[in-house]
A and B are shown apart, each in its own frame.
Chain A
Amino acid sequence: MTNQKPDRDATIDRLLAGRATRSQDHSTGACLEADTLAAWADGTLDAVALATAEAHAADCARCQTMLAAMARTTPLAPAEVVAPWWKPAFRWLVPLTAAAAAVLVWTIVPSRDGRVTVHQVSESASATSPPSVATPSFREPAAVDVVPPTSAASPTPRREPQTLAEAKEADLSRRSADLSRRSAEVAMAEGAKAEGAMAESVKVGSAKAESAGPEHDKKSPAAAASVLADASARTDRSRTAAENAAAAPAAPAQPMAKPFAFGAPDTVIVSSNPASRWRILQGGQVQRSADGGATWQTQTTGVTDTLSGGSSPSPSVCWLVGPRGIVLRTTDGRSWTRIPFPEAVPLTSIRATDDRTATVTTEDGRQFVTEDGGRTWARKEF
């Protein structure tokens, strides 16, 4: 009998699959409103409302189909995946371990001038405070960051008329053309603004972006920024070979970023030479000090999101991370380059060993490694 159980479970599986072809409308009560469905998807239903909605949807074919449709339209953001039970604990473990290591290194290993200052240790400790447990965001990433194949700037090609749309066809076409025209105007204006902002900090990349010509003008600001960042990243890689040779050895332990503590203006990233350091300001700005923090110069990074952390493996090289997959790098200590990252998810910390090798930690605890300056990223398995 025991051996029959797996076989019978398989039979049940098969029967359930066949049973699914039948209708299941045994529900009572009204179907879920779009408002409720959306709140369910965003996780904002309270326990009672969720239980009620689940009880209805369990027996309602229409609502199940709508839930399925919603699930299929949900952007595939890994942050939406509910983390296994051990992930939150592990997320605490990483900064704690890093903090312990940093304190140990700073305590035992003398600095280059032979002094160990209290300031260094306390700064390290403050930068490695445990993260607040952030609830995974089910919100869609900012729409301007992701430009679908059909740009808002171009009119949508009309498909074959459908049953419900036929009555509205004439009116819809007129409105659609109007809306498209206005979209194009907004996109062009914003794109020009983004290009101007990026040109400040990404001098090399702007030449390539401008060569994109009229086609570039049609893109949204995010696309414009992406082109600029991509162009500058490629150019930047080609000119950093000489600097690589001159770069100092990697720091043994970099202060870890405050995991997603946005708005914290005191996140300081100290390089292997404590005289060189960066600190994160709000709105994507950073400041650099070349004299151990006595004076600071403000730098623009080309992004407007407040960054969450960074790592400086040498005096002129620094990596920064932020929300929506933002990875920035400077190799000359002055200008910043946006490094393409495969996912538009919040990044909480980065640990770099030179200008090509870095490990990024996402808000949901995953780690991605690059060994070619951000050209490719590989998921790091624990």
Chain B
Amino acid sequence: MNSSYTADLELARQCAAGDEQAWDRFVLEYRPILYRAADALDPSGNARDLADSLYADLYSKSLFRYFQGRSSLATWLRAVLSQRYVDRIRANRRMDPLPDEEGAIERADVRHYESPRDPTPDPDRGRHLRLLQDALDQAVTTLNPRDRLRLGCYYAQGLTLAETGRILREHEATVSRQLARTRQAIRGDVERRLRDESGLSDAQISECFAAVSADAGPIDLDRMLAMPADRKETAPDRSR
């Protein structure tokens, strides 16, 4: 327990014990925090029922006993609410039908080869893309966890530099610099893998990068990597 949060822990303990006065104080001070967090999670207001649900659980199910005083009570409430919100989204996504993978691959291939900006398709282009993506995956895998987490927050979660920095305790300028450094490291690693492991020449490596750069639309790596040959030993979670 952190001594800074003794008062919060005491309040939680009193609430859990059914102290009406403590509960009144909790209502006054923390209910707005819960609703504010819910609105931040879903500005359309659809997360408010989760806040209500959490509120009811705190009141009736002694949820307070899980608060150990390792953080402020406000932060703990936001964490529990965030957890419930994320789990609901993931649960809802599991209900979505899986995409027709083979059809998707075919459509992706057709899209690439019939691109209006690429009237003379390069027969090696698909292979180059595949090699580049493989090298990229391996390069990312070898990064240290902190760099991977930074990439994940910024690219996968779409957080801003400042938000990413808040998680990693870095200034946003530092996050920006570290992202740039990581991209350079990945690029160097990808080039090395293409050269050493795939046996490509410098000209062919250039063609690999050019193949991505020349693409007019967004690169749908999700579809590309869904091809059976690219499937990794770790089964991807289709819930997301």
By a beta-carbon cutoff of 8 Å, the part of chain A in contact with chain B is 1, 4-5, 7-26, 34-45, 51, 54-55, 57-59, 61-62, 64-75, 80-84, 138-140, 142-144, 146-148, 150-152, 156, 158-165, 168, 171-172, 175-176, 179, 182-183, 185-187, 190, 220
The residues of B that contact A57 with a CB separation of less than 8 Å are 145, 149, 152
Interface readout for B38-74 with A: 1 if CB under 8 Å, 0 if not? 0111000110111011011001100000111011101
Please give the distance in Å from A340's CB to the nearest CB on chain B: 19
**Residue B173 at the chain A interface, CB threshold 8 Å:** yes
A68 to B154, CA, bound (A): 9
B49 pairs with A71, CB closer than 8 A: no
A72→B153 CA distance, assembly (Å): 12
A-B contacts besides A38-B70, A58-B145, A73-B82, 7 pairs, CB < 8 Å: A20-B155, A24-B156, A34-B83, A35-B70, A69-B86, A82-B174, A152-B31
Q: Decide: B29 and A142 in contact? CB cutoff 8 A.
A: yes
Instruction: State whether A19 and B140 are in contact (beta carbons under 8 Å apart), knowing that A37-B83, A140-B72 are contacts in the complex.
Output: yes
Name A's interface SS: helix
Chain B residue nearest to A165 (CB atoms) is B49
Listed A/B pairs (9) with beta-carbon separation below 8 Å: A8-B187, A16-B140, A18-B218, A20-B152, A42-B72, A44-B71, A58-B152, A152-B31, A162-B46
Query: Which B residues lie within 8 Å of A42 (CB)?
Result: 2, 70-72, 75
| Residues in chain B near residue A190, CB distance under 8 A | 28
Chain B stretch 194-223: residues in CB contact (< 8 A) with chain A: 202, 206, 209, 212-213, 218-222
- In-complex Cβ contact of A8 among B70, B84, B137, B209 (8 A): B209
Residues of B within 8 A of A22 (CB): 221-222, 225, 236
Q: Is the CB of B236 within 8 A of A25?
A: yes
Q: Give Cα A57–Cα B150 distance, bound, in whole angstroms.
A: 10
A38-B71, A81-B165, A148-B35 known; A16-B52 Cβ under 8 A: no
Residues of B within 8 A of A20 (CB): 152, 155-156
- Are B209 and A4 within 8 A (Cβ)? yes
Given the complex, which residues of B lie within 8 Å of A40, measured CB to CB?
167
CB distance from A143 to the nearest CB of B (A): 4
Which B residues contact A (CB, under 8 angstroms)? Answer: 2, 4, 23-25, 27-33, 35-37, 39-41, 45-46, 48-50, 52-53, 55-56, 59-60, 66-68, 70-72, 74-76, 78-92, 132-133, 136-137, 140, 145-146, 148-149, 151-153, 155-159, 162-167, 169-174, 180, 183-184, 186-187, 190-191, 202, 206, 209, 212-213, 218-222, 225, 234, 236-240
By beta carbon, the residue of chain B nearest A56 is B145
Which residue from A82, A148, A156, A175 sits with its C-beta under 8 Å from B59?
A: A175
Q: B78 CB to closest chain A CB, in angstroms?
A: 5
Inside 8 A of B140's CB, which chain A residues have their CB? 16, 19
Query: Which partner residue on chain B sits nearest A150 by CB separation?
Result: B35
Say yes or no: A168-B157 contact (C-beta < 8 A), given A9-B183, A72-B163, A143-B74: no
- With a CB–CB cut-off of 8 A, which chain B residues contact A19? 133, 136-137, 140, 155, 221
Output the least CB separation between B66 and chain A (Å). 7
